[in-house]
A and B are shown apart, each in its own frame.
Chain A
Amino acid sequence: MSNPQQLRYSKEHEWLSALEDGVATVGITEFAANALGDVVFAQLPEVGDTVTAGETCGELESTKSVSDLYSPVTGEVTAANQDVVDDPSLVNSAPFEGGWLFKVRVAEEPDDLLSADEYTAFSGN
């Protein structure tokens, strides 16, 4: 398992892409996807929602459990990944790519986001 270098990470196991015109893409890490098991239902924030760093903004449901989805940053949601809503297993099969969850226009970032190496050390993976 390798965590892409160009991403940043939260301690809640989300990843955050670099900003493009102020907008970042958010997903959960491969480590988190593996820990969840087969994801079968995803409730994502909706376009226009305001999400807050460290607060819940959705749900990921796997065979065994329900997990809250946290936002790694504060801002306004500009897109939710309909492909994941239609086929939640994308979160398992391509967590850093097709399994992204939502895009957010970042208003504020917490100062404790981790680099890939820091996250690898933090998660042990």
Chain B
Amino acid sequence: MSTAPRLTALDALHRSLGATMTDFAGWDMPLRYASERDEHNAVRTRAGLFDLSHMGEITVTGPQAAAFLSYALVGNIATVGEGRARYTMIVAQDGGILDDLIVYRLADTEFMVVANAGNAQLVLDTLTARVGGFDAEVRDDRDAYALLAVQGPDSPAVLKSVTDADLDGLKYYAGLPGTVAGVPALIARTGYTGEDGFELFVAPEHAEQLWKALTEAGAPYDLIPCGLSCRDTLRLEAGMPLYGHELTTALTPFDAGLGRVVKFEKEGDFVGREALSAAAERAEAAPPRKLVGLIAEGRRVPRAGYPVVAGGKVVGEVTSGAPSPTLGKPIAMAYVDAAHAAPGTEGVGVDIRGTHEPYEVVALPFYKRRK
């Protein structure tokens, strides 16, 4: 079956900017506008503007919305304060990760769940299937929002020039409704780049006006439009997992080194509790492969699926790899046997199309911004 790709509200704008487009989870998205390295560096040093309208928004409302989400997800959503956001996951009954999510508490009884584009339908279907018995409603709001992100150290200055919202009072992982460039928006201090930045959820019909206003406001800061290619190298440097690479249905949050997102102490049962308890015990008794960082000594780039080798044996697998513009060397995230996972472990390499290239094992992240 083939279907036409979905287009964001900014599609014509991207094409007028000369973007190279790519299929991403059924969406035609900007991969890059000119050089992905320049875009990456703009976000690290100044500011970049992204169209992330492919992300999936699901609204959950009702008196038991909080209790329902605490049941359906692994996090303790009931403790998220109004105006705050939380990183969490949705797992299958067997503990396998279905998606990683950001949940915003917009009001006491209203939440917005943001899912990855490729998993949005599954998350929607799963939440809908799990809501029975709760006084809550799950609503597909994927078409209700366009999502723009301004990321980078100058992003607060850029945004301040087009909004009266109290950005200084807006903490990391918080969101508030406001007006940006005359457009009603949910302003969230979140992102996926390792930098300070904002994500702006707006009605699709307002997306172009907002994009143009942000481009203009960002001009003094040399803000440039950025595509998904640099978003991937930015998140990789920041050690952030990507669904389908570091996170899959074959892994529980404990296998992915993200067991901290599972809140066993929360009130009531939740989907996956039994399997996740067992996974937590297993992880304690026999540590699973550990997610580590690898830095190349040479210039060849490791790719997802390449074997990690030591002493002539396969000891792990690369999940994401790319040349790092910030480090100036190829880097990778990889799941590696515990015996070879300690930072500084000698003799670790990656099999790059038949050649064993030497790599340094490091702790994640590769890059941390100065606060």
Which residues of A come within 8 Å of B, CB atoms? 34, 37-38, 40-41, 61, 63-64, 66, 89, 92
Contacts and interface: CB of A to CB of B under 8 A. Distances in A.
B263 interface: no
B322 interface: yes
A37 B299 contact: no
Tell me which of A34, A63, A92 has the highest count of chain B C-beta atoms within 10 A of its own C-beta: A63
B300 A37 contact: no
B36 A63 contact: yes
B301 to A, nearest CB: 5
Main secondary structure of the interface of B (DSSP, over half): mixed
A40 B324 CA distance: 10
Contacts, number: 34
A102 to B, nearest CB: 18
A64 B229 contact: yes
B303 A66 contact: yes
B303 A63 contact: no
B75 interface: no
Contact of B299 (A34, A41, A66, A92): A41
B301 A38 contact: no
Nearest to B329: A40
Contacts of A66: 301, 303, 353
Given A38-B35, A38-B36, A92-B35, A63 B300 contact: no
Contact of B322 (A34, A63, A89, A92): A63
Given A63-B233, A63-B322, A63-B323, A37 B301 contact: no
15 contacts: A37-B31, A37-B32, A37-B36, A37-B229, A38-B323, A40-B299, A40-B323, A41-B299, A41-B300, A41-B301, A63-B323, A64-B31, A66-B303, A66-B353, A92-B35
A92 B37 CA distance: 12
Contacts of A92: 35
Interface string B30-49: 01100111000000000000
Nearest to B353: A66
Contacts of A40: 299, 301, 323, 330
A34 B20 CA distance: 9
- A-B pairs with the 4 shortest C-beta distances? A40-B323, A41-B299, A38-B37, A61-B301
